[in-house]
Amino acid sequence: MHEIIEFLGVSKRFGSVSVFDRLDLAISTGRTTALVGASGSGKSTLLQMINGVLVPDDGRVEVFGSPLPESRLAAFRRRIGYAVQGTGLFPHLRIDANIGLLGKLEGWSDAKLADRIVELTELMGLAPELTRRYPHELSGGQQQRVGICRAMLLRPEILLLDEPFSGVDPLTRDEIHERFAELMRAEPVTVVLVTHDLHEAMRLASELVVLDGGRVLQADAVQEVVERPATEGVARLFERLQ
């Protein structure tokens, strides 16, 4: 199995608080991997080390088979889509400008950009007239779809999602999940999804990484984890999350 992301002996501290201590973890190409765990388990920190928003204190992270570049980090990051919890949308830009920002910076033609925006918004079930609005004029669920569209604009090889579907009602979330799954079928990509919602993880992911207090309790296929929890801790976590 080819590994697109590898954590090699990674340690990360915030001040005196150690989040990870010599962590090793590999994430496979083409799969959707969910990082699950309770709050404070370090899952969001782990995600942010993949695109270099956070830098390990020790060890290294390898993406696309090499360590994160020190220069030209921006170009590297454009190969990785990024969507975060809350909205993360830029309030001063209309929806189409939010989605299209990176395309514009890449020098895409207006036509190419417009086509791509239509393509993505259709896949995510966003009405065309919404693209002329500002983020605050959209519902929470609509904003989350926009966040996904923006992250997918450049057809990245990796998509990092930091609890992107939290905070909406279950019905809306189900619909967004459906749309997202459809988008993934249309444009397959390696996804790393941080979530505290186990249902969401089981629905969208094929792989699970169970974290607790900065340690990986189990990293395996979803079915495997559910049926054969590696430790008491994993089993308990499942009970708690369920």
Partner 1 sequence: MMSGGPRRESRYIRRKTAAPKTGDRLALGHGRRCCRSLQPRRSSRARRLAARLRPGVRHGLAGAAIAGLCAALLGPLASAQQPLVVGSKTFAESYILAEIMAQLLEAEGYEVDRRFGFGGTLVTFEALQAGAIDVYPEYSGTMQHTILSSGADFGSEAFAAEVESLGLDTLQTFGFNNTYALTVTGNTAQRLGLATITDLVDHPELRFGVSHEFHERSDGWPGISGAYGLPQTSFGIEHGLAYRAMLEGDLDVTDAYSTDGDLIRYDFVILEDDLSFFPSYFALPLVRQTMQPRVKAILNRLGGTLSDARMRELNAEVSIERRTFADVAAEFLRERGLVADAADPRPTSTLVADLIDNTIVHLKLTGIAVAAACVLGVGLALAVHRSRPLSRGVLYATGLLQTIPSIALLALMIPLFGIGQVPAIIALFLYSLLPIVRNTITALITVDPLLKRVAAGMGLSQSEQLRHVHLPLALPHLLAGLRIAAVISIGTATLAAFIGAGGLGEPIVTGLALNDTTLILQGAIPAAGLALAAELGFELIERRLVPAHMMASRLPS
The residues that touch partner 1, with contacts defined as CB under 8 A, are 48, 51, 53, 74-78, 80-82, 84, 86, 88, 90-93, 101-102, 105, 134, 136, 150-151, 160
Q: Look at the block and give the residue holding tokens 């904003």.
A: 143
Tell me which DSSP letter residue 74 carries.
Answer: H
Which is nearer to partner 1, 37 or 88 (by Cβ)?
A: 88
Q: How far, rounded to the nearest angstrom, does the alpha carbon of residue 180 sit from its chain's CA centroid?
A: 12
Cβ at position 97, least distance to partner 1 in Å: 9
Which is nearer to partner 1, 7 or 82 (by Cβ)?
A: 82
Task: Determine the 3-state secondary structure of 160 from DSSP.
Answer: strand
Cβ at position 84, least distance to partner 1 in Å: 6
The C-alpha atoms of residue 108 and residue 111 are separated, in whole angstroms, by 8
Which is nearer to partner 1, 34 or 102 (by Cβ)?
A: 102
The C-alpha atoms of residue 10 and residue 42 are separated, in whole angstroms, by 12
Task: Determine the 3-state secondary structure of 235 from DSSP.
Answer: helix
Tell me which DSSP letter residue 229 carries.
Answer: -
Cβ at position 129, least distance to partner 1 in Å: 17
Cβ at position 233, least distance to partner 1 in Å: 30
Which is nearer to partner 1, 93 or 114 (by Cβ)?
A: 93
Residue 62 near residue 6 (C-beta atoms within 8 A): yes
Which is nearer to partner 1, 89 or 198 (by Cβ)?
A: 89
Beta bridge partners of 162: 84, 194
Cβ at position 85, least distance to partner 1 in Å: 9
